[in-house]
Structure 1
Amino acid sequence: MIRNLLCWVVLAFVVVSCDKSYVTPDPVARGLNFYPLEVGDYRIYNVKDIKYQHNEPTELNFQMREWVVDSFMDQTNTLTYKIIRSIRPNAESQWEDDSVMTVTKNQSMVILTKDNTRYVKLVFPVEEGKTWLGDMYNDHDIVDDPNPNISKETYTYKSLDQPFEVGNLSFEKTVVVEQGSQGLFNSKLSDGIEVYARGVGRVYRLFDRKVYEDCSPEYCPQGEGYILDGHKREEVLIEHGKL
């Protein structure tokens, strides 16, 4: 009797263990390691920032550091990470704090909040060709257009687990997040990409938003492609680690 009871206990344990291993998500398979998040993590980027006014560009070059300084439970009992963004003119200068962001991460998505605006940076599982709205949780429209498929930013996964080289660094497995939205008559255009590497996080970002003069081929006084207002920014990872 005791032997039979023990056999049933062992069998039940095996069944529960197998069932548990079946339903437990594999974080690597889901792509959670494309956005590692621990207190102390930091990444440093070389930044080229160009702003346009009446087709005249003004360029700034500097370095930017994103440092995960703390974690806490927010009002919804969600684990939230505090990230301080600092900038400096060059490697010989001291860091100066520029802004503060927060990030939450779960089995479904990564949400970054900056200036009281939330952006869905990644969704899980990471799959080739998957799309989502990066600004689904805010009322910010990237362009002034009543069509929600145009006015919102669509993100798309491309080149999953392909190698990527940036600056002097190379990464074996990365994913490209294409980001873009186009306005009516091509007068407004927002385009960009972010590249994430497994175990590292974001290694490259390109943001390019321009407002062109709205004209026709028959009448374009300033010439085609005249930029009334614009912003182009490139961020290249040069260093990462833990402080």
Structure 2
Amino acid sequence: MKKSNVLWYGLLVLVMAACQAPDAVNQEGAGYTYFPLEAGRFTEYEVNEIRYTVTSPTPKSTTYYLKEVCGQPYSGLTGVEQFPIERYKKGTLEANWVLDSVWTAYRLPDRAVRIENNTAFVKLAFPLVEEGTWNGNLLNTQPEEAYKVHFEVPFPAQSDFPGSLTVVQRQDSSIVSLYKRHEVYAPGVGLVYKEDTAWEYCQEPACIGSGKIDTGTRRIIKITKHGVE
């Protein structure tokens, strides 16, 4: 092969590699597939809530359903491609979906962001590594919270989502309270499970340390269906 042809071939290989680099990173490197964004992609969830109040002797349990649909992307104020996330809600499986709210999501080379009720949260930080840590409240005015990644942490339906990772957003417990907030993501799917618990335990002398819940809420969100419409 002539020297000039070798040079042209080398340049062609470099150009092709450059064009393919983002997909390669998406699939195998940074972990972008844990936060997929595609117009028409939808996810359905079952939500179970249990609420304790000081005025009721028994907790109140509620079940409802959520559906999130990724809309057509648009260019945000900073030029970043953003996706509207249409959120639908219904009280029973037989009911029709009713639009509840519209959130926003976008992905940058180093982070995945969701804007929920006008508050931006850094859901994932790339590249995803075991015990990788970042400030989930970096883009809002709330106090700093250290989010941490753990791979293959057991959770309900784990066998259905191999390669899942858990983001521990908060894990605080004491004799008087428990705060636990975890999100589980699966490659090619996104959020598949979430737990958000905030308990305040009884602090009276007769029951302090017993684990008796006075007030608080636990919300469990579990995926039931996903795909592209």
Q: Are residues 194 and 43 of structure 1, via their aligned partners in 2, closer, same or farther at CA, if it must alter by over 3 Å? A: same
- C-alpha change, 1:52 and 1:70, in structure 2 (3 Å) is farther
Greater fraction of residues in strand:
1
> CA 1:22–1:90 in 2, change beyond 3 Å: closer, same or farther?
closer
Distance 1:31 1:201 in 2: 11
- Trace 1:124-163 onto structure 2 (pairs within 5 A): 124-141=126-143, 152-160=144-152
Correspondence for 1:58: 60
* Structure 1 residue 52: Cα displacement: 2.1
Of 136, 161, 170, the residue aligned with 1:180 is: 170
Matched, 1:121 2:123: yes
For residue 164 of structure 2, give the secondary structure of its aligned residue in structure 1. strand
Q: Which of residues 202, 205, 227 is equivalent to 1:220?
A: 205
TM-score, scaled relative to structure 1: 0.79
For 2:8, the aligned partner's letter is: V
Q: CA deviation at 1:140?
A: 2.1
* Native 8 Å contact 2:171 2:181 kept in 1: no
Please name the residue that 1:10 is paired with. Answer: 8
Q: How far apart are 1:159 and its partner, in Å?
A: 1.9
Range with greater deviation from structure 2 (173-182 or 63-72): 173-182
Q: TM-score, normalised by structure 2?
A: 0.84
Match of 2:112 in 1: 110
* SS of aligned partner of 1:136: coil
Residue 148 (structure 1) aligns with: none
**1:83-112 CA-partner distances (Å, limit 9, x unpaired):** 011111222110011121101101111111
Kindly report which structure 2 residues correspond to 1:83-102, keeping only aligned pairs within 5 A, or say none.
83-102=85-104
**Contact 1:129/1:156 (<8 A) preserved:** yes
1:21–1:186 Cα change, 3 Å? farther
Task: Determine what percentage of the aligned residue pairs are the same residue.
Answer: 26
Sort the Cα spacing of 1:96 and 1:77 in 2 relative to 1 into closer, same or farther, 3 A.
same
1:205 has 2:194 as partner: yes
- Of 212, 221, 227, the match for 1:235: 221
Q: Distance in 2 between matches of 1:84 and 1:99?
A: 6
Is the Cα–Cα contact under 8 Å of residues 154 and 181 in structure 1 kept in the other structure? no
Kindly provide the CA deviation profile for residues 191-229 of structure 1, in whole angstroms up to 9, marking residues without a partner as x. 12111111111111111112335x4xxx62454334443
> Mind listing any 5+ residue stretches in structure 2 that lack a counterpart?
none
How big is the alpha-carbon RMSD for the aligned residues of Structure 1 and Structure 2?
2.9
What is the aligned partner in structure 1 of residue 36 from structure 2?
A: 36
Q: Is the 8 A contact 2:151 2:163 kept in 1?
A: no
Whole-angstrom CA distance in 2 between matches of 1:18 and 1:86: 42
* 1:166 and 2:151 matched: no
Which protein shows a greater Rg? 1
Q: Which deviations, in whole Å up to 9, do the C-alpha atoms of 1:133-182 show, x marking residues without a partner?
A: 211222224xxxxxxxxxx432111125x786529x71222111112153
For the residues of structure 2 that align with 1:126 and 1:111, how far apart are their CA atoms?
14
